[in-house]
Amino acid sequence: ALQNMNNDESAVQGKGWSILLKYLQQCGNGYLMSFIFFSILLFVLLRLLSSIWVQIWMDAGDGLEEQRRQNITFADSSALELQGLINNNPKLWLYLLIYGFIVLAMLVFGFFKGAGLLITLLRGSLK
């Protein structure tokens, strides 16, 4: 059994990328694999965008920071007091709407990514 395994390893050596490409061809056509790749890429970018959007949202506070900075009574206030609470932001609906669309897109592309990988990789391993 050990000799048989050594023969298998020597047959595979030097063919690294060609074996991977053959496996990917067995998984599905190029369009399907490209769609899955872009689904993964979009999912990762949407996760990054959600973090960035939440940071923008938190930094906006209640939208009145500039007015507080101009008011002399807030001169010695901390940054948190200057920003105010996000619940009082008049554009709260906009922040929630955009965040909701980002989460919805993450769910859709996450499903495409997971289901696509499951189906294509199983198909490639069965052939």
| Count of all residues that appear for the chain in the document | 127
Q: Residue 115: helix, strand or coil by DSSP? A: helix
Residues 92 and 6: their CA atoms lie apart, in Å, by 65
Q: What is the pTM of this model?
A: 0.69
Contacts of 98 (CB under 8 A, 6+ apart): 53
Q: Are 64 and 80 in contact (CB under 8 A)?
A: no
How many CB atoms are closer than 10 A to CB 43?
A: 20
**Tens-of-pLDDT digits for all 127 residues of the chain?**
555 555 555 555 667 788 878 877 788 788 888 899 999 999 999 999 999 999 998 888 787 767 766 776 666 676 667 677 778 888 889 999 999 999 999 999 999 999 988 988 888 887 6
